[in-house]
Amino acid sequence: MKVKNICCIGAGYVGGPTMSVIAQKCPEINVTVVDLNEKRIAAWNDKDVENIPIYEPGLSAVVEDARGRNLFFSTDVDEAIDQADMIFISVNTPTKTYGIGKGMAADLKWIELCARQIARVATSDKIVVEKSTLPVRTAQALKNILDNTGNGVNFQILSNPEFLAEGTAVDDLLKPDRVLIGGDLDTEKGKDAMQALVDVYAHWVPQTNILTTNVWSSELSKLTANAFLAQRVSSINAMSELCEVTGADVNEVAKAVGMDSRIGPKFLKASVGFGGSCFQKDILNLVYIAKSFGLNEVADYWEQVILMNDHQKRRFAANIVKTLYNTVSGKKIAMLGWAFKKDTNDTREAASIYVADYLLNEQAEIVVYDPKVTEEQIYGDLDYLGSRPDEENRKLVKVVNTAKEACSEAHAIALMTEWDEFLEIDWQAVYENMLKPAFLFDGRKLLDKHKMKDLGFKFYAIGN
């Protein structure tokens, strides 16, 4: 079958960019991205394409190209479901905050709501694609809900996890290492549905990069990929602490280790800890699944990746307090960067939130500058932790528009995100405008330590 109308439920960091690229590359397919969040949809439809709700290099141009032609953003979920022959579910699947599996299992309530809505609205056969990251065997639950409507509609469920990385989403979508499609390989209808999705991607992805597997392998591969990536970060971060006490340099160790072709150089950069919406939640979910099958050793093994990450954030913050003569009370700490990595405005699980919270508990005064994150988001992130009254967060934390302003009269700087523009800062001027001794804590290993020391900074970087 040839797909003519695609609907994507969820206009977030995955649904928005993924569908924009599909629309750009498949001009004969109508793509409608729907969301319950009216503000988000209005931003996707903003006349000025620079105001779309997600910052990703190159994304505005893709949206400009396709929007209004064959790419549409809407809040009319029912209408889009009704029109579509293929429906992507790209809604959020955060860690549960209540009940059984609290703090570990994925909360699938939004997924189930989508399935029930599709079941209610659909009057013609549909291919339903899991784009969200889901626990292995979720497709079975979706199938049970969809097949029990009794309205005679045939649903094929595919798993098509998204591997894009925020900050490079458009490049990743245009040139994916692989596209993974899981489906029912045992039936003709299942194979046809898989082929229909293969044909969508084949508009721009070489066939050799499109993998087809059974559904469970596809679902589990996504969790596994994120677990392996996060594990590498926690592994090098564990070594960074050992480097600090032995005199080894973690960059040198990473280079030497990464040149082994069996290991490879990527994802070996020590830092204040990984963030982002996915790594932690997906590993917790993996741990939960392993535990629920009684595989306690497997669960403990992966849980350690999270524990190491929490430790890394905490020890970075603790080192700031210790270095500033064991107190930051009433001291001004400039935080450069709030996003969980450069080139995104996403702050979910960003290390900066936890470091700021730690320092606020020590009564520090914090001034934040991030080139893409709004003041509203920063306060929202801190309020969400519930560590102190919201008004106190506004009293103790200021958000400013330039790095220079953030660092002026500061006792210390904590560099939290590796934004390229931080390399261009006039560090000499920053040094001159700070209180002395001027402490600089580089949580991303972005800056040249010799240059910073020569300027006069008391300079600390992870793993040195």
Ligand X SMILES: NC(=O)c1ccc[n+]([C@@H]2O[C@H](COP(=O)([O-])OP(=O)(O)OC[C@H]3O[C@@H](n4cnc5c(N)ncnc54)[C@H](O)[C@@H]3O)[C@@H](O)[C@H]2O)c1
Q: Which residues are annotated as a binding site?
A: 10-15, 35, 40, 91-95, 132-133, 162-166, 222-226, 262, 269-275, 278-281, 340-341, 348, 444
Residue 346 identity (one-letter amino acid): D
| Residue of 7, 26, 114, 278 with catalytic role | 278
Q: Give the residue with the Cβ less far from ligand X, 277 or 417.
A: 277
Interaction mask 79-118, ligand X, x per CB under 6 A = -----------xxxx----------------x--xx----
CB of 14 to ligand X, least distance (A): 4
Contact in structure between 240 and 233 (CB atoms under 8 Å): no
Least Å from the CB of residue 268 to ligand X = 20
Tell me how far, at minimum, the Cβ of 54 lies from ligand X, in Å: 8
- The closest of 204, 207, 279, 270 to 238, measured between CA atoms, is 270
> Could you tell me which residues come within 8 angstroms of residue 253 by beta carbon, excluding any fewer than 6 positions away?
239, 243
Q: Is residue 164 involved in binding ligand X (CB under 6 A)?
A: yes
Neighbours of 391 (CB within 10 A): 9
Residue set of the binding site for NAD(+): 10-15, 35, 40, 91-95, 132-133, 166, 278-281, 348
Tokens 């005199």, located at residue = 247
The answer to whether 288 contacts ligand X (rule: CB under 6 A) is no
What are the tokens at 103?
Answer: 């703090």
Other CB atoms within a 10 A radius of the CB of residue 425 amount to 18
Determine which residue in the list 278, 286, 324, 412 makes contact with ligand X, applying CB under 6 A: 278
Query: Interface with ligand X by CB under 6 A: which range of 36-44, 194-202, 244-252, 362-370?
Result: 36-44
Smallest gap from residue 101 Cβ to ligand X (A): 16
Binding site members for substrate: 162-166, 222-226, 262, 269-275, 340-341, 444
Judged by CB under 6 A, the residue of 3, 7, 8, 9 near ligand X is 9
Q: Are 57 and 167 in contact (CB under 8 A)?
A: yes
Choose, by CB under 6 A, the member of 5, 36, 235, 304 that binds ligand X: 36
Residues 123-162 contacting ligand X, CB under 6 A: 132-133, 162
> Of the candidates 35, 56, 184, 303, which one interacts with ligand X according to CB under 6 A?
35
State which of residues 6, 7, 12, 184 lies at the interface with ligand X (CB under 6 A).
12
7 is catalytic: no
Q: Are 140 and 208 in contact (CB under 8 A)?
A: no
Burial class (CB in 10 A: 0-12, 13-18, 19+), 261: exposed
Q: How far is the CB of 171 from ligand X (least distance, A)?
A: 13
What would you report as the CA-atom Rg of the chain, rounded to the nearest whole angstrom?
24
Residue type, position 123, single letter = T
CB burial of 287-307 (b: ≥16 within 10 Å; e: otherwise) equals bbbbbeeeeeeebeebbebbe
End-to-end alpha carbon distance in the chain = 58
CB of 216: closest distance to ligand X in angstroms?
A: 17
Tell me how far apart the alpha carbons of residues 365 and 348 are, in angstroms, rounded to a whole number: 22
Distance of CA 363 to the CA centre of its chain: 30
Interaction site with ligand X (CB under 6 A): 9-15, 34-37, 40, 77, 90-93, 110, 113-114, 132-133, 162, 164, 166, 277-278
The residues annotated as belonging to the active site are 278
